Structure 1
Amino acid sequence: MQCPCLPQPFTGGFREDCWEWDINAKSPAVLLSPCRRAVYFHVDSLLQSEATAGVRGTKGFAHGVHYWEVKFLEPPYGTSVMVGAGTEQACLHLGNYTFVNLLGMDSESWGLSYKGTIWHGGRSKRYTEPFYDKATIIGVDLNLYDGTMAFYKNGHNLGVAFTGLNKIGMPLYPMTSSTAAETELQLGVRSCRFASLQEQCLHTVLQHLEDKAHIDTLPLPEFIRGQLKEF
């Protein structure tokens, strides 16, 4: 399992962001590469897929504009392979041969299926043409100022898929899911942009902390530490 993570250019005020797939927030049917940027679903060679499996990113977003890309290392197939985002309450695993569109199965997540449909609240609608090719790259553009989520396919903007995301009141985490055996997805570009200097400063401080639990150890005024905890 290799981690071919290549640097990418950042434009339009975007800067590189630092997060990966969360080893502590995933289905038991998910394996992560050592760098935690590649994710492998249902990889037991002796078993077929028995569940719907998901994984969440290590960072949730409550402010700013965030863009990330997921590359399909194998052609998608089966009931569902999805890319999107969800709250910390979003489901990450359904067993007992339950095969569903996990992202968007309820009100806690929003997702795009490789079959071209978008899902939220258990409802779907046609959004784009299906994509079946190996090496397809799906970009997610989460704008928490406008409250929108749009998707890109191989660099082409597919348009706004969801609205009202700035009213959720909880951080949104990158997510992906699959029902298909031996699905392989790779995290690529991760970038962010903030509107104000204050937000940029808060982001920079947090980038240098291993855990938000360390905020209280910083030699900063109490109100700034409070802002860091809420950011």
Structure 2
Amino acid sequence: MRPVLKEHTWESWEWDTEGKSPDACLSSCRQSVYFHISPLLESQGTAGVRGTRGFTHGEHYWEIEFLEPLYGNSVMVGVGTLNACLHTGGQFINLIGMDHESWGLSYKGFLWHNGKSRKYTEPFYDKNTVIGVLLDRTAGTLTFYRNGENLGLAFSELDQVGSALYPMVSSTAPETELQLGMRTSRLSSLQENCIHTITHCLGRFEHTHLLPLPTALCCQIRTYSIRS
């Protein structure tokens, strides 16, 4: 079963119009992404896109539905920093996990990080497969789910990563279509919940110095705003 985050909040992040490959197109609501949909119907390389929210604290869970049967060299889900590669023209590779900036799961069942892979699960080819991603920045772990089934721990020590981690997807195959589903989070302390709420209400981190709060707390809010 999919994880149930106690005292969770619903999140509303989307795919980033600025953080994507030119070979990735987004729906008007930015919930769906379409890869390699040129009239020639052929891929020119590997394309990726990241979400609009990066995570530095707490637990975050989201689901991605594959609206078409999977094929080709690589279709992936995972997480990465702002420095993670989003496009490789002419190269058909496992983009998420090609270096130390990202961590990914290929539809062929392999985990990738820093250019190395290992077997994790059976391949998933079927249309409407739903892959859940559970990122726990406090524990430093990343776990994947397939159609509600826990596939086990995929990566650990992500609490050692000093940068925010963003949801990512990528594909080498023409007309790959992926859609965002459930997105929830649970922050690990009352302070983190307060900072999270203040950040979303504030809008712009430049205004943190105007808050009637201790300087140290204002600095934490500013740091959270920049990373998120």
- Normalising by structure 1, we get a TM-score of 0.91
Equivalent in the alignment of 1:33: 27
Q: Residue 52 of structure 1 corresponds to which residue in structure 2? A: 46
Q: Is the 8 A contact 2:5 2:185 kept in 1?
A: no
- State the match for 2:14 in structure 1: 20
1:132 aligns to what SS in structure 2? coil
What's the offset of the Cα at 1:204? Answer: 1.1
Aligned-partner SS, 1:208: helix
Q: Name structure 1 gaps, 5 residues minimum.
A: 1-8
Quote the Cα distance in structure 1 between the aligned partners of 2:27 and 2:170: 16
Give the structure 2 partner of residue 114 of structure 1: 107
Question: What residue in structure 1 maps to residue 166 of structure 2?
Answer: 173
Alpha-carbon distance in 2 for matches of 1:77, 1:214: 48
Deviation sequence 1:46-102 (CA, Å, 0-9, x none):
24110100011111111101111101011111000000000111000000x200000
8 A Cα contact 1:64 1:194, kept in partner: yes
2:19 aligned counterpart, secondary structure: strand
Work out the CA distance in 1 between the residues paired with 2:21 and 2:60.
24
The answer as to whether partners of 1:52 and 1:177 remain within 8 angstroms in 2 is: yes
Of 55, 58, 79 in structure 2, the residue corresponding to residue 64 of structure 1 is: 58
Q: CA deviation at 1:217?
A: 5.2
Q: What do residues 128-164 of structure 1 show as CA deviations (whole Å, max 9, x unaligned)?
A: 0000111100000011111110000011100000011
Q: Out of 130, 133, 136, which is 1:143 matched to?
A: 136
Residue of structure 2 equivalent to 1:103: 96
Determine what percentage of the aligned residue pairs are the same residue: 58
Q: 1:213 to 1:84 in 2, by over 3 A?
A: farther
Give the residue type in structure 1 aligned to 2:174.
A
Unaligned 5+ segments in structure 2 are none
Shift of 1:208: 2.6
Q: Structure 2 length normalisation: TM-score?
A: 0.92
Please list every run of at least 4 consecutive aligned residues from structure 1 whose deviation after the TM superposition is greater than 6 angstroms: none
